[in-house]
Amino acid sequence: MGRIVLEKVVKRFGQAEVIPPLDLTIEDGEFTVFVGPSGCGKSTLLRLIAGLEDVSSGRIVIDGTDATELAPAKRGLAMVFQSYALYPHMTVRRNIAFPMKMAGMDQAEQDRRIAKAAEALNLTDYLDRKPGQLSGGQRQRVAIGRAIVREPQAFLFDEPLSNLDAALRVGMRLEISELHKRLNTTMIYVTHDQVEAMTMADKIVVLRAGHIEQVGSPLDLYRTPRNLFVAGFIGSPRMNFIDGAEAAKHGAHTIGIRPEHMEVSSTSGLWKGRVGVAEHLGSDTFIHVHDTGLAETMTIRVDGEVDLHHGDTVYMTPREEMLHRFDAQGLRMAEVGVPA
């Protein structure tokens, strides 16, 4: 099955070390998401696992076999690329058949698997078209079909949804999640979109400058971010950070409070400010508050019905148990009576 272990993996491009020594285990059947800002090394890490880049040192073990020196095709992995990377001169059928043809699979088995994949992905009517005649979503499905038919030990997805429009993206996100539930195969998914990470992952790996900042389930990362970076990266809108005297009251260098963890009132509360922009989403409203004397802008998330407008005075009270405390190094501090 698809257990992938990275041991002290290092990647250098010339003098630049883009992945410093890195250890990571991805369990069989797990949906793991690599997330981080652009340039954090998440795609490079995926390409190292795929074998499209050579590691500078360290080992990659797939299913107990040292795959460090293996060619990409010999690793039993299938990859879905950001640009879909379909073969434009081949029909959908030939695109999906290509990996099986390369593996020398007999025609009957190829046809069976193509039919099965096409049905699962709603591509049956398009098998004789070329990629150029398909929409973005359909192309993405062909790319997934090409990956499925190999019955790989693990799927690798490199920002597969970033070329789709917003509505399609939500749909494909669900489809990929359902595919994972159905196949129960290891999937590694790279994205810079923390919403994708939160909604799809069993396990999220947050990366910054090639370093793993934190590994955990989406809710682990949301509830107990290990440091300021993870706290700021996971969650939307972003966590509010407050330094100085207010933080010192809690015995911390910085305190963080998520927009959804504050009580809002127009009459009384702990912190006072003035409403700047209010973003009405219907279900919720995000209010950007200025002049709090705590941080340049604080964001609060309130019910969609709340009637607050530009210039209004607003009072905020953080829910004490939802406060995050960080030390001068930006690391999470132990909660009172609970180890960090």
Partner 1 sequence: MARSVTTRRKAFNTAVAWAIGLLIFFPILWTILTSFKTEAQAIADPPVFLFFDWTLENYGVVMERSNYAKFLWNSIAIAGGSTLLGVLIAVPAAWSMAFVPSKRTKDILMWMLSTKMLPAVGVLYPIYLVFIKLGLLDTKFGLIVVLMLINLPIIVWMLYTYFREIPGEILEAARMDGAGLKEEIIHVLTPMALPGIASTVLLNLILAWNEAFWTLNLTAAQAAPLTAFIASYSSPEGLFFAKLSAASTMAIAPILILGWFSQKQLVRGLTFGAVK
Considering only 71, 108, 245, 281, the residue that binds partner 1 (CB under 8 A) is 71
Strand order in the sheet with 31-35: 77-80, 154-158, 186-191, 31-35, 203-208, 211-216
Q: What is the nearest approach in angstroms of partner 1 to the Cβ of residue 61?
A: 19
Tell me the three state secondary structure of residue 17: strand
Residue 339 in the binding site for partner 1 (CB under 8 A): no
Q: What is the nearest approach in angstroms of partner 1 to the Cβ of residue 147?
A: 9
Residue 87 in the binding site for partner 1 (CB under 8 A): yes
Q: How far is CA 306 from the centre of its chain?
A: 32
Residue 55 in the binding site for partner 1 (CB under 8 A): no
Residue 102 in the binding site for partner 1 (CB under 8 A): yes
Considering only 146, 203, 226, 258, the residue that binds partner 1 (CB under 8 A) is 146
- Give 4 or 289: the residue with its C-beta nearer to partner 1: 4
Sign for the pseudo-dihedral over CA of 221, 217, 7, 46: negative
Considering only 61, 85, 215, 295, the residue that binds partner 1 (CB under 8 A) is 85
- Which residues are within 8 A (CB) of 245 and not within 5 positions of it... i.e. 6 or more apart? none
Q: What is the nearest approach in angstroms of partner 1 to the Cβ of residue 82?
A: 7
Residue 150 in the binding site for partner 1 (CB under 8 A): yes
Angle at 267 between CA 262 and CA 271, to 5 degrees: 45
Residue 26's closest CA among 224, 202, 214, 234?
202
Query: Could you tell me which stretch among 97-105, 215-223, 270-278, 319-327 binds partner 1 (CB under 8 A)?
Result: 97-105
- Give 123 or 231: the residue with its C-beta nearer to partner 1: 123
Residue 78 in the binding site for partner 1 (CB under 8 A): yes
Residue 332's closest CA among 323, 321, 23?
323
- Which residues are within 8 A (CB) of 233 and not within 5 positions of it... i.e. 6 or more apart? 35, 36, 37, 194, 206, 213
Residue 79 in the binding site for partner 1 (CB under 8 A): yes
Which residues contribute to the site for partner 1 (CB under 8 A)?
50, 52, 71-73, 77-79, 81-83, 85-89, 98-99, 102-103, 146, 150
